[in-house]
Structure 1
Amino acid sequence: MKSTAPHIHGATTFDDLVDWGVQSDAIEGASASSGRLLFKGPNNQPETGIWVCTPGRWRLSIPRDEFCHFVSGKAVYRSDDGETIEVGPGTAVMFPAGWTGECTVIETMRNIYMLA
């Protein structure tokens, strides 16, 4: 991944992932996260990589703008103001900094993300 243009071939199936532990703020189940960091800039901005998460439900608060392109699995995000966002393969979501709510992963999901 050291390159003038960091890249991961086959990002939708890449399996050399690192255990990132259990999702914090669990409501139900014990979602396990893993992934691979592709690039992290100065002050950790931007940060981009692959994130995989197993089924479960937890609270979340998005600290920085985060773009997610979901390439497999199924999940439902519910904001504190009642909005529901169902995600699956091919869904792209731009979560603004400060977005709060919860996530329920129904089928192990994989997402290509960028934090700005």
Structure 2
Amino acid sequence: MSAQLITKLPESGPDPITTDLPGWKVVSGTPSMKTWILHKAADGSMISGIWEAMPGTYHTTYDKYEFVHLISGRITITPDGGQPIEFNPGDAFAVEAGFTGTWVITEPVRKHFAIRLA
């Protein structure tokens, strides 16, 4: 049997990851996150899913490329040494491997993500 070449993702799934992801450290408030990995590429190169977070501030370090589509909520992302960028519902953006900076979550967030693993 060949691999499925197109997959419709559900809105979420059972059993989210509820711990803070590697590279994410709380610096203000009491934010929390949930991550649902809803699909893994057949060749192991990508994952995609849904991420939710409650208000607060994280400092994060990215070691992989991520594409994001913000479904709801508001975030201000500031690269270390850079200028803040605001993101609102409907915005899409990419974060390159090597990024370090803060995510200020001002309203509860729900986003689609796709992360390149290899």
TM-score norm. by structure 1 comes to 0.82
Q: CA RMSD in A?
A: 2.2
Alignment partners' CA distance in 2, 1:85 and 1:17: 32
Residues 1:22 and 1:46: Cα distance change in structure 2 (over 3 Å): closer
Q: Which of 18, 21, 27 is 1:20 aligned to?
A: 18
The answer to whether residue 112 in structure 2 is matched with residue 112 in structure 1 is yes
Kindly report which structure 2 residues correspond to 1:24-63, keeping only aligned pairs within 5 A, or say none.
24-41=24-41, 44-63=44-63
Q: Which runs of 5+ in 1 are unaligned?
A: none
Letter in 1 for 2:25: D
Residues 69-115 of structure 1: per-residue CA shift (max 9 Å, x gap): 00100111000121211111011111111011011100000110011
What is the alpha-carbon distance in structure 1 between the residues aligned to residue 43 and residue 26 of structure 2? 28
- Under a length normalisation based on structure 2, what TM-score does the superposition of the two structures give? 0.81
The alpha-carbon distance between structure 1 residues 79 and 41, as it changes in their structure 2 partners (threshold 3 A), is same
Written as runs of structure 1 = structure 2, the 5 A alignment for 1:33-112 is: 33-41=33-41, 44-112=44-112
- Structure 2 unaligned regions, length at least 5: none
Structure 1 residues 88 and 16: CA distance shift in structure 2, 3 A: farther
Aligned length: 111
